């Protein structure tokens, strides 16, 4: 079904990107999942084809398109189960910090090579003891002359092994009251002395993503690596970008739901029990009818938010609603579809088992679903 938010130009691009995914991405997905990391060659191919800068200005090598082109990339990669290729993190989460808050020099040094695929980006928020409580991060970036000296540890950092530069959430003022006023964002190159990568963490899902520990020990970074004109703006900068981050998750969740559902529809038409395809049993029909309805409802809501976001509207409450609702839906769809596969759903050779494991983290990162509900409640005047 044609979705009204996409123009003919968008749909032509979708077909182009689908072909790229079929030839350049899907053949590598199983290997990435086995190795726990993607290869730089594919990232570079993405950059060479212009897929890493669709929504970035032409003056830095981008295509100057709207966010809907990026949404198409997210959808097609999620549908292909290519979760290992974390382009939404690199393009739609990290790049906007550089575009919105970076100096001209920072954009030339980091944004331009990020668009070409020569500089992979990560953002380091979470710490072992803080989780979603960013106001109380323990990583310090204290000024010493014309440098910051960074000390601390981060964990669960996506692109942690592959990244060439990290946007680090750190305290530049340990005495600030309230604490969030002491937070700044610092760009740290991966080849800086004092920066080191820890383990590539082993996860139950999203196995192809390199999710890592990062350590900073007396890591000296020039003060010109501060994002923004002055210190203490980090919390505000983070809040400004979270709308898009949470919308990205909703986009990917619905696309993943569609893949689980489509594969299960094919399976129940072929799998037989008691002399007939299991798709002919009323329970199977009712379950899939319910899931298909819920996915369509979720798609309409996400499309509405995509249109509003492209139009520049402030939709913090709505993307918080979408983030928790679509990720809960993804977990529910994966679980119900696995159940309809029976014992085969529990076997790793059937992709629905990966869908089930991959869905688990969706309600946790980018702010837990409990945090989403707190945000919604506050904006309803309840706290």
Q: Give the residue numbers annotated as catalytic, written as ranges.
A: 245
- Check: CB of residue 148 under 8 Å from CB of residue 172: yes
Structure tokens at 349: 């050779």
**Degrees (nearest 5) of the Cα angle 42, 257, 380?**
110
Q: How many residues does the chain have?
A: 383
In whole angstroms, give the CA distance from residue 65 to residue 133: 34
Residue 237 makes CB contacts below 8 A (sequence gap 6+) with: 97, 100, 101, 185, 227, 228
In whole angstroms, give the CA distance from residue 65 to residue 60: 13
Residue 249 makes CB contacts below 8 A (sequence gap 6+) with: 323, 326, 327, 362, 365, 366
Phi-psi region of 54 (alpha: psi -120 to 50; beta: other; left: phi over 0): alpha
In whole angstroms, give the CA distance from residue 337 to residue 73: 25
């Amino acid at each position: 079904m044609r979705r009204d938010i996409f123009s003919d130009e968008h749909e032509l691009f979708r077909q182009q990107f689908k072909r790229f995914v079929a030839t350049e991405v899907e053949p590598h997905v199983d290997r990435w999942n086995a190795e726990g990391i993607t290869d730089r060659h594919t990232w570079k191919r993405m950059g060479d084809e212009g897929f890493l800068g669709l929504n970035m200005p032409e003056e830095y090598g981008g295509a100057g398109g709207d966010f809907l082109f990026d949404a198409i990339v997210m959808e097609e990669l999620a549908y292909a189960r290519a979760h290992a290729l974390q382009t939404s993190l690199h393009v739609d989460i990290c790049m906007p910090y550089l575009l919105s808050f970076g100096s001209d020099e920072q954009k030339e040094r980091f944004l331009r090579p990020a668009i070409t695929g020569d500089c992979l980006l990560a953002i380091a928020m979470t710490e072992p003891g803080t989780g979603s409580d960013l106001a109380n991060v323990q990583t310090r970036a204290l000024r010493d002359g014309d440098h910051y000296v960074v000390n601390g540890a981060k964990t669960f950092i996506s692109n942690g092994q592959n990244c060439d530069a990290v946007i680090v959430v750190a305290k530049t003022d340990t005495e600030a009251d309230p604490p969030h006023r002491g937070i700044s964002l610092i760009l740290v190159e991966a080849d800086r002395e004092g920066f080191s990568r820890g383990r590539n963490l082993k996860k139950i899902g999203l196995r192809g993503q390199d999710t890592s520990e990062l350590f900073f020990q007396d890591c000296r970074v020039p003060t010109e690596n501060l994002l923004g004109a002055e210190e203490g703006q980090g919390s505000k900068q983070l809040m400004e970008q979270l709308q898009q981050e949470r919308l990205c998750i909703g986009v990917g969740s619905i696309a993943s739901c569609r893949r689980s559902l489509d594969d299960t529809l094919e399976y129940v038409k072929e799998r037989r029990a008691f002399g007939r395809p299991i798709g002919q049993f009323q329970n199977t029909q009712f379950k899939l009818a319910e899931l298909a309805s819920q996915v369509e409802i979720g798609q309409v809501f996400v499309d509405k938010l995509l249109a509003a976001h492209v139009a520049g509207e402030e939709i913090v409450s709505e993307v918080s609603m979408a983030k928790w609702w679509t990720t809960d839906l993804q977990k529910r769809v994966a679980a119900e579809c696995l159940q309809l596969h029976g014992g085969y759903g529990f076997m790793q050779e059937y992709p629905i088992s990966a869908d089930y494991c991959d869905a688990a983290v969706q309600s946790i990162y980018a702010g837990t679903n409990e945090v989403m509900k707190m945000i919604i409640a506050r904006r309803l005047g309840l706290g």
